[in-house]
Amino acid sequence: MRLLRHLSVSTTVTLSLFARGCLGQYPDMIVGSYTDEETGINFDTWTAPPAENGDGGVTFGIVLPENATTNDTGEYIGYLVLTSFRWATDYFMPDPYSGDGSPTITYIRSSVNESRYELVYRCQNCFSWDDAQGENGGSSNSSEGEIMLGYAQAADGPTNPARPSEITLQYHTLGYAQWVVPVGNVTRGDYETWSELAREAAPGECEV
C-alpha cells in the first residue's frame, strides 16, 4: 500500500494536531500499518478512501518516541507535502502560525509523480501552540495517553501552491475528520535512529 495514493498533486490536504475534543465527521478512518521500504520506518496509519469518482483519498501515518507515554513529546515522524504551519481558533481560513516556539519540519524522504506524492518528515516542537498575544495557548500531551489528529482535503488546489506561507486553502469538498490515537500504539523503540535520517529543513518558500 502506498501511503498517499489516488491523490493528484493539485489536491489540497490539511493535516492537524488537536487537543482532545470532538470526534470524526465524514468517512470513518480505516486503521492500518505501513513500513517505508527506503527508511524502514514502521507507521500506524489511517486512511480516508477516495470519493466515488476517484478524487482524493489520503493515508496518514505517525510514529512517536518510545517514551512518549510517560514523557510529553514535542515531536513526531509523519507525512505531508508542501508545508506551512497554520493557526485558527474557529471555522475559517487559518493564518500562518506566529506564536512562540516555532515548529520545524525536516525532510527524510519524498517522491512525486503524476498520480501521487509521498513525504516522510520529522516535525519538532509540534505538540504545543500559542498565538502572538499569548491568549490561546495549548498543548497535546502524549503522557495523557491519547492525541487527536485531523485532516481535510479538497479537490481544488490552493492558490499560490508553490509558496506555502501565502496559500489560500479551498473548501474541503473531499471530506474531513478528527480521530483519537492511543499513544502506546504509535511509539517505537527505533524512533531516535529514524529521526537522525532527517537532514534537510523545509524552507516554507519555493522559487517560481
> Which residues have C-beta within 8 Å of that of residue 141, sequence separation ≥ 6?
72, 127
What is the C-alpha to C-alpha distance for residues 141 and 136, in angstroms, rounded to an integer? Answer: 16
Nearest to 108 by CA among 94, 123, 96: 123
Q: What is the CATH number of the domain that holds 135?
A: 2.60.40.1210
Is 1 part of a structural domain of the chain?
A: no
Nearest to 88 by CA among 37, 136, 42: 136
pLDDT digit string (tens) for 135-156? 677 888 999 999 888 877 777 7
Query: Structural domain tally of the chain?
Result: 1
Is 207 part of a structural domain of the chain?
A: no
State mean pLDDT over 151-177: 73
Give the pTM. 0.73
Nearest to 3 by CA among 54, 77, 82, 58: 58
- Per this entry, what is the length of the chain? 208
Is 43 part of a structural domain of the chain?
A: yes
- Cβ neighbours, 10 Å, residue 170: 19
Which pLDDT value is given to residue 93? 77
Is 90 part of a structural domain of the chain?
A: yes
Local structure of residue 169 (DSSP, 8 states):
P
- Rg of the chain over Cα atoms, rounded to whole angstroms, equals 16
Which pLDDT value is given to residue 103? 81
Whole-Å CA distances, 94 to 47, 87, 99, 138: 24, 5, 13, 16
12-18, strands of its sheet edge to edge: 12-18, 146-154, 176-182
Is 154 part of a structural domain of the chain?
A: yes
What is the C-alpha to C-alpha distance for residues 115 and 28, in angstroms, rounded to an integer? Answer: 23
- Cβ neighbours, 10 Å, residue 64: 24
Is 165 part of a structural domain of the chain?
A: yes
Is 36 part of a structural domain of the chain?
A: yes
* Domain with 70 in it: 30-200
5 confidence band (pLDDT: 50, 70, 90): very low
Is 44 part of a structural domain of the chain?
A: yes
> Which residues have C-beta within 8 Å of that of residue 42, sequence separation ≥ 6?
33, 34, 35, 36, 63, 188, 190
pLDDT digit string (tens) for 15-59? 555 444 334 444 567 888 989 988 999 999 888 777 776 666 778
pLDDT digit string (tens) for 172-203? 777 777 888 899 999 999 999 999 999 876 55
- Cβ neighbours, 10 Å, residue 47: 21
